[in-house]
Amino acid sequence: VISSSSSSARKSPKHASKWYAFVKRKKKTPVVRFKEATALESSHGLSWTKVRLLGKGGFGSVFYAKTRTTNNQKTNLPSEMAVKSAIMLRSSSLIHEKRVLCHLGNSPHVVRFYGHEVTVTANGVIVYNLLLEYCSGLSLQRQIRKSDHGLAESDVRSYSRDILRGLKYIHSRGYIHCDIKPANILLMPGRPNRNGTFRAKIADFGVAKAVNEECHNLRGTLRFMSPESVRDRKIEYATDIWAFGCVVLEMLTAKSAWGYRRVKDLKEVIGYSDEMPKIPTNISENATDFLSRCLVRIAAYRWSADMLLQHPFLSVN
């Protein structure tokens, strides 16, 4: 994954001494001068600069970045991007995500991948960066939190179509996302003939797996995990459909499908009980039936993404 040039740079005494000095300063947060970073390995050459922090996660940080060009430099990158960054020693999730995105290729319903770069900061810290499409509408999670009682069914229908089209594509390429949730659905403005609405795109493939890949650990976010994944560590296409059903329920109610429970209780309820997420009574009959096709404890009985796209709930204009 990392070229010989970047590997040698990572192992050189100069970079190593600076890295270990950085690790020892536990109480100090290093000030990274982004403009002084230089590329060690690059799919485009260092032609962008980080502008501001968008968020942090277990993998590292996400930055809003802008492409910079000179008279002697041309780039195929867009003018703005989201750059996911992690120090090299903690970059396994991003490197895995890069591999998955390369295999998936481009889809209008998946956040686009532009390339990767390994850089070294002014402090001598080696950083792995993923260059991704910037979604200015931010996340579905933020959209849900702005609503008091859930989104309008028309918006839920629209986002559900986009997410299912994304899942259909991902599954057709032989992958399971494993972490479908509102925070991993990003929004892009500009749906034709609809004011104030967004297009939804699936993001964050850090724990995605190939369908034939063995899995012995829990993957994803517990409150969106399916019964079979919690109980048997079994992950299949239907696992994403259960998580999608939880997302639809959260869009409709602005509440978690399982309420707010302790982790221990949540594992017991999801994996070893007959309890089901409560479907509200104030939604349409089509929406109720749609959820009942997603939230089925027996994975084999859940509808596929393709089948759900034909459901009457999504056929209403």
- Binding-site annotation: residue ranges for ATP: 84
What tokens were used for 202? 């699936």
Q: Give catalytic residue positions.
A: 179
Angle at 203 between CA 276 and CA 48, to 5 degrees: 160
If you search the block for the tokens 């259960």, which residue do you land on?
242
Tokens of 286: 């089509």
**CB contact at 8 A, 112 and 106:** yes
The conformation of residue 292, written as its DSSP 8-state character, comes to H
Could you write out the DSSP letters of every residue in 127-189? EEEEEEE--TT-BHHHHHHT-SS---HHHHHHHHHHHHHHHHHHHHTTEE-S--SGGGEEEEE
Neighbouring CB atoms inside 10 A of 230's CB total 19
Through-space distance between the first and last CA atoms of the chain, rounded to whole angstroms: 46
Could you tell me if 167 and 241 are in contact, meaning their C-beta atoms sit under 8 angstroms apart?
yes
What the block records as the tokens of 215 is 């899995």
Residues flagged as binding site: 84
